Structure 1
């Protein structure tokens, strides 16, 4: 089990930092209405997940996810709002498990297809679940209402009235997609130095 210590610790660090960072708008360049700092840290969870999956297989990846999930929720509940911890834990668990599933279906294709597809699909689910549970008024039963007053946000060049968390979710997802592409570089570099898991029949 010692070989899984690094993936588990990496997951713990990423989700704990992200749970704190997502509570703060990214104010540089006037992007506070569309981004939080968490958008820049959370994509590394997919990098850790995909490297673990590629090197040790889906079972090891799921083990790292469960360990990171449990520790992350506890630490986030202590360091941040309980509602954020619930939203983050649920989104993290489902998004990462979906990533493992997609990755497994595509692992025999070109090296970049599995991590990219898994990150895109997992990020879409993660973003939807997290921002809805964490900020939407309809889920206020989970904790203090964090919904925001309606504001005009740009959508395909048209003004749309929506809570600020909706624009945060949109900006967050765009950054995750850019990150999914950029993180293929360290993924490939690290993969060259690690063993490659061969599934049965591979």
Structure 2
């Protein structure tokens, strides 16, 4: 456990920071948390490459527990429009994180024998797509309103052009598309620190 402690600390820091920064808007479609949360995939992939899938999953589960704790705290803090974290958001966040990160670990492990960049890139792209789809659907889709009937998310169902210029869809779809776009960009950028960190920790693996 000691050898993956830096990974656990990094994952916890990312989860806590993202839970705080998601409260602050960045433009019309994003929050600042959209720029910190994808770093969780970088941490998972580094742990996977250096220490293997088993230890990477331990880091994921530690991040999940921290995320649950943040959500529980958020449900007890009143904001301008109600609790900072609704039960739908808490459920969506937890399920999306755990599912996407474990999927990332599995895909990375399957592809680890190829070119150095293939496993982190493919696993992150697929994992982040699943993460985005699960979170925004669970948290904001009108079809899942039964999860928390008292939580009014009708604002997320307002029909608008996607990102202001695409076909008409509920607002939450635009939020999801913008979020995934950031994840794609960061997945490509993260290949640089991934390569550097792995080379320093395990030169023979890079």
TM-score normalised to structure 1 length: 0.86
Tell me, in whole angstroms, the C-alpha distance in 2 between the residues paired with 1:197 and 1:140. 51
Tell me, in whole angstroms, the C-alpha distance in 2 between the residues paired with 1:50 and 1:121. 13
RMSD between aligned residues:
2.1
Tell me, in whole angstroms, the C-alpha distance in 2 between the residues paired with 1:146 and 1:67. 30
Aligned equivalent of 2:117? 112
Offset of residue 147 of structure 1: 3.7
1:59 aligns with 2:67: no
Tell me, in whole angstroms, the C-alpha distance in 2 between the residues paired with 1:43 and 1:124. 11
1:68 aligns with 2:68: no
Change (3 A) 1:10 1:64: same
Partner secondary structure for residue 152 of structure 1: strand
Tell me, in whole angstroms, the C-alpha distance in 2 between the residues paired with 1:185 and 1:87. 30
Offset of residue 136 of structure 1: 1.8
Tell me, in whole angstroms, the C-alpha distance in 2 between the residues paired with 1:6 and 1:20. 21
Change (3 A) 1:15 1:105: same
1:193 aligns with 2:200: yes
Partner secondary structure for residue 25 of structure 2: coil
Aligned equivalent of 1:172? 179
Partner secondary structure for residue 109 of structure 1: coil
Q: Which moved more, 1:84-93 or 1:143-152?
A: 143-152
1:129 aligns with 2:128: no
1:88 aligns with 2:89: no
Offset of residue 26 of structure 1: 1.5
Contact 1:87 1:130 (C-alpha < 8 Å) held by counterparts: yes
Aligned equivalent of 2:11? 11
Unmatched tracts of structure 2, length 5 or more? 75-83
Change (3 A) 1:54 1:196: farther
Q: C-alpha offsets along residues 16-58 of structure 1, whole Å, 9 cap, x if unaligned?
A: 322343344312xxxx1x3222221111000000000001000
1:184 aligns with 2:194: no
Tell me, in whole angstroms, the C-alpha distance in 2 between the residues paired with 1:85 and 1:164. 20
Change (3 A) 1:19 1:134: farther
Partner secondary structure for residue 108 of structure 1: coil
Contact 1:36 1:168 (C-alpha < 8 Å) held by counterparts: no
Unmatched tracts of structure 1, length 5 or more? none
Aligned equivalent of 2:77? none
Offset of residue 72 of structure 1: 1.3
